[in-house]
């Protein structure tokens, strides 16, 4: 994963606050240490997981941890969702060194439901692809 300094740099360029970025960094990398996320999962996670399991869609079931995080971010607001998707895409770029930024975005779109926040991240990453890829793969 890129260092948090990289996440913070690109979040700042998107004009996301440091408070939001810090919250998302901690949730994304240490979800088990986020008391708010744990309470969310205790309150709503069971029903979400049951519905996904009933679908018998293995691909969807494998998405549960990240799916729960997205739903949790939605409760906090659009800027949190943008920050979460940005963090996810930057991590993915780092972890998949043979993929282009566009390929990472396509796979991210395939994994998650369409939303305005993901579209905003997609446009931002494409606009800054060379610099983002460079920073993430240092």
Alpha-carbon dihedral angle through residues 32, 119, 52, 107, given to the nearest 10 degrees:
-90
Q: For residue range 50-108, what is the model confidence (pLDDT) as tens digits?
A: 776 776 666 666 667 888 899 999 999 999 999 999 999 999 999 999 999 999 999 99
Rg (CA), the chain: 15
Q: Is 133 a residue whose pLDDT tops 80?
A: yes
Eight-state DSSP code of residue 57: -
| pTM (2 d.p.) | 0.89
Name the burial class of residue 31, with classes exposed (0-12), middle (13-18) and buried (19+) by CB atoms within 10 angstroms of its CB: middle
Give the domain ranges of the chain: 4-136
């Amino acid at each position: 994963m890129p260092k948090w300094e990289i996440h913070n740099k690109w979040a700042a360029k998107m004009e996301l606050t440091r408070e939001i970025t810090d919250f998302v960094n901690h949730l994304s990398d240490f979800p088990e240490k986020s008391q708010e996320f744990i309470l969310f999962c205790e309150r709503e996670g069971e029903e979400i997981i049951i519905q996904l399991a009933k679908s018998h869609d293995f691909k969807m079931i494998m998405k549960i941890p990240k799916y729960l995080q997205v739903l949790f971010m939605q409760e906090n607001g659009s800027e949190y969702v943008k920050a979460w998707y940005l963090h996810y895409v930057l991590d993915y770029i780092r972890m998949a060194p043979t993929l282009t930024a566009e390929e990472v975005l396509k796979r991210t779109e395939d994994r998650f439901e369409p939303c305005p926040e993901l579209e905003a991240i997609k446009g931002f990453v494409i606009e800054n692809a060379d610099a983002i890829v460079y920073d993430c793969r240092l």
